[in-house]
Chain A
Amino acid sequence: MTSLTLSPLAKARFTHVQREYRRVWVYVIPVTIVFAVVFIGPLAVTIWTALHRTDYFEVKEFAGLTAFVDLFSDEDLLSQVGTTLAFACGALVVALPLGLLSAIVLNNITRFTRLVRSLFLLPWLMSQATAGTIWLWFLNPNYGPATAFARSLGLGSTDTFSNPTSALIAVTLITAWWSYPQAMLLFLGALQTVPVELKDSLKVDGGNAWQGFTNVTLPYLRNSIVSVVVVLLMLYVQMVTIILVTTRGGPLIATETLAVRVFNQTFQDYDLAGASATALLLFAINILLTLVAIRFRRKESL
């Protein structure tokens, strides 16, 4: 067995590499701590709570899977999952093209850019509670401007939130309106990476604007679209405030998504174990949707 002898230069390089490795921990440890505190910890507490009996906000004795059995035997669960998906997909279908269209407009205008950008961003600058309250007032069947307008046209009042279907459509549209600027900003960043030369060469070849969009812009935006879909879906699946402010899940639980169910179980029924079980189901749905979207992204990248 012969011992390995290093030249002074190799030794110095080895020591440098060792130091570099040690420095990595300076970055890894804080991130790990933060990740543990803001994600692993709460997740573990949620699982722990779901497996115990709770009395208001106190966790009592171990109860096994009782909360999950209650959750999956609840006759309202299926409709709440359906409402969650309808709400999330509905808002996405509206916000995604609206965000893309606004980003294209902003990317192409040369005058009043700041003013237009501010106007487009306005909904997102409001808190969700403010956005919900504004629409509640706007659509109020007694004194809302929408009712005044409808009446001036000889129509009746806008009883938007009194009917299960129109209430679900309304909260979906309000959420899409509030959140589309988020999609717009992400698309705007992506649009600015589309090479101008490609667009110019298409013009030289006689291509029109629509061909430029479908053949140049869209292929460059594909991965951004997937990212926006993931971000927005997560936002919608977990959305609580706008629904609480406008309908509180009604009428007849037509707008009670799983996230609203978690809120109601926690603060109205004081059923922390049940709320934790629902929150874990919501988490699983979120993971599933994200995995589907990520899979799309990989395929597109190939």
Chain B
Amino acid sequence: MKRTQWSVAIAAVAVLALAGCAGNSADPGASDSDEAITLTYWDFIDPSQDTPRSQALKQNIENFESENPNITVQVEVVSFGDMLARLPQAAAAGTLPDVVKMYNPLVPQLADAGVYQSLGEKAAAIDDWLLPIDSLVDGAGEQIAVPYEYRSCALVYNGKILSDLGLEVPQTWDEVVTTASATAVAGFGGFGTGFSKEDNSSIIAELFDCFMTQVGQEPTNSEGEAVFATKRAEPFGDFLTDLRDADALSSSVVADQYTAVTDGLSNGTLAMGVIGTHRIITVQTLNPDVTWAPLPGVEEGDHSTTTFGWTLGIGASTEHGDAAWKFIDYLTSSEAQSLMATGGEVPVRASTYDNEFFSTPEAETVLAIRDYLENWGQPRQYPIRWLAISNSLAEAAQAMNLDGTSGSQLLETAQDTANR
């Protein structure tokens, strides 16, 4: 009897051990040609949801699978924050998804963590990218990702609030302060932004990113050291302190995130804010009074901005590089990108705009954003530690608001924290 018990125990341990060893070896040695392949793909968009972007993704995956019957795409819905935490872990463990979707300011950091494999000449074969893709390279200059959609910063404002108060759409940052102050006096939220680190400080980081392009200041030097506390960058710090001094910021700005601004614009309590162009259609759907304008300038007439957006790359540990590229190639194709555009995303390839969707009124906003990006947008070569810069900016902005520090102090504190 005892012998039987021990045998069962040993067998159980052996089964567990074998199960552990078996781990991740699905499709071992499967070639990318005709054998059945399952591609894992991480996206923050859940294709089972009912939003236009979710539906477009779902349709694109279905279309790809019917064109490639041997390939199944397994979507894993992972939030942006979780991706940042999990991708470096997966890189260390060799369990990366086959196709990686990532926000381009964070691509260099994840490349440094060993998340990507080189795309080689695959991306270079496509010659109609709307904007240059040479910023999506790793430290060795290898192409590691391609754009999936474009976006930038824009001044999004409530046209009704401004016209009711007899205010013009601001053209410069100084005018933004004056206009926001006037709307705050009238009982509305003045200028919407947020200094919370909750969502990786995304709204303040985006504003800083676009502002730096406008003033021509690189956030880091060639060694990756933060070097933005300069005279040239001072208008950024001054803009935030001017808003504070004019009581044009929300009283909860220290704890506000991106959603606080989009919610404020959607429900008509906020007069204006600088948000990503990809949010314009969603906000307009909820509040037709909301409209947008190119980014105000330090000088009138300058609307320079940074172009950023989500990208696609191949996971370093994939065994299905060819199939993964096939999927990326499909998602950036004219057919798939046109479908994405119905959800408000701006396609990245010139040929996509030949699709008949772009001659319909529904495409008006997407086309206007495309023109804005083509005229004023500049892609940035992001440093490896962009996340550290974003969070240090949020922390310094919190101090600026709570402790009353100056604009130049804001930049110095953020720079010191980022370099610490």
- Minimum CB–CB distance from A181 to chain B (whole Å) comes to 27
C-alpha gap A56/B112 in the complex (Å): 9
Contacts of A163 in B (CB 8 A): 254, 402
User: Contacts A250-B255, A252-B402 given: A142-B260 contact, CB under 8 Å?
Assistant: yes
Inter-chain CA distance A270–B91, complex, in Å, is 13
Between A and B, how many residue pairs show CB distances below 8 Å? Answer: 76
State whether the Cβ of B263 lies closer than 8 Å to any Cβ in chain A.
yes
Alpha-carbon gap, A266 to B250, bound state (A): 32
Q: Is B318 an interface residue (CB 8 A)?
A: no
Q: What CA separation (Å) do A163 and B403 show in the bound complex?
A: 11
- B263 contacts A141, CB within 8 Å? no
The answer to whether B209 has its CB under 8 Å from any CB of chain A is no
**Does A300 sit within 8 A of B, measured CB to CB?**
no
Alpha-carbon distance A141/B253, docked complex (angstroms): 10
Query: Do B252 and A142 have beta carbons less than 8 Å apart?
Result: yes
Are A251 and B255 touching (Cβ within 8 A)?
yes
Which among B198, B255, B395 has the greatest number of chain A C-beta atoms within 10 A? Answer: B255
In the bound complex, what is the Cα–Cα distance between A259 and B197 (angstroms)? 17
Q: Would you call B193 an interface residue if the criterion is a C-beta within 8 Å of the partner chain's C-beta atoms?
A: no
Q: How far is the CA of A184 from the CA of B260 in the complex (A)?
A: 37
Interface residues of A in 142-173 (CB under 8 A from B): 142-143, 156-157, 159, 161-164, 167
Bound-state CA distance A161–B198 (Å) is 12
Given A56-B92, A57-B92, A142-B269; A162-B251 close (CB under 8 Å)? yes
- The answer to whether B113 and A270 have CB atoms under 8 Å apart is yes
Residues of A within 8 A of B263 (CB): 142-143
Q: Which A residues are in CB contact (< 8 Å) with B391?
A: 268
Is A238 among interface residues, defined by CB-CB distance under 8 A? no
Contact status B255-A247, CB under 8 Å? yes
List of A residues within 8 angstroms of B395 by Cβ: 250, 252-253
Taking CB as reference atom, which chain A residue is nearest B93? A57
CB distance from A69 to the nearest CB of B (A): 15
- CB pair B251–A157 under 8 Å, yes or no, is yes
Knowing A248-B196, A251-B398, A252-B398 are in contact, say whether A270-B88 is a contact too (CB < 8 A): yes
* Shortest distance between the CB of B374 and any CB in chain A (Å): 35
Query: Contacts A162-B254, A250-B395, A252-B399 hold; do A57 and B196 have CB atoms under 8 A apart?
Result: no
Residues on A with beta carbons closer than 8 Å to the beta carbon of B85 = 266-267
> When the two chains form their complex, are residues A142 and B92 in contact, meaning their CB atoms are under 8 A apart?
no
Q: Find chain A residues with CB under 8 A from B250 CB.
A: 141-142
A245-289 residues at the B interface, CB under 8 angstroms? 247-253, 266-270
User: Within 8 Å CB of B97, what residues of A?
Assistant: none
Q: Does B162 contact A (CB under 8 A)?
A: no
The yes or no answer to A58 lying at the interface (CB within 8 A) is yes
Instruction: Give bound CA distance, A167 to B387, whole Å.
Output: 24
A-B pairs with beta carbons under 8 Å apart, 9 shown? A56-B114, A57-B91, A57-B113, A163-B402, A248-B197, A251-B254, A252-B395, A252-B398, A270-B113
